[in-house]
Amino acid sequence: MLAVLRLGRDAYGVPIATEIADRTGREILQGSVYATLDRLEAKGLVISELGEATPQRGGRAKRYFKLTAEGVRQVRQAQRALEALWVDLPQGAGTKA
């Protein structure tokens, strides 16, 4: 969802996978991008629409994704929850003694 949010209008399969790979340092399966986005779309957190086809894609159309208002709200909520979990965490916590 964060990758979709970062990419804005350019959020279709290829840049989403590239963005995740660049940010996390891990190559991901293109199929897993669609599996995840399908689930998010079913939950009403993203919406999608067909875009243009190019010769490089063998004439197949792109599918652009966009976060819904509920999707943005849930991303913010997840961010707040994560930040709250970091608050007051002692320095060096989780490292071996």
> Which CB sits closer to another protein, 47 or 78?
47
Alpha-carbon distances, residue 93 vs 75, 78, 82, 84, 96 (angstroms): 26, 22, 16, 15, 8
Gap between the Cα atoms of 20 and 5, Å rounded: 12
- Maximum Cα–Cα distance for the chain, whole Å? 57
> Which CB sits closer to another protein, 44 or 80?
44
Residue 43 in the binding site for another protein (CB under 8 A): no
> Which CB sits closer to another protein, 24 or 79?
24
> Which CB sits closer to another protein, 34 or 74?
34
Among 57, 73, 76, 80, binds another protein (CB under 8 A): 57
- The 2-41 contact track toward another protein, x by CB under 8 A, reads ----------xxx--x-----------xxxx-xx-xx---
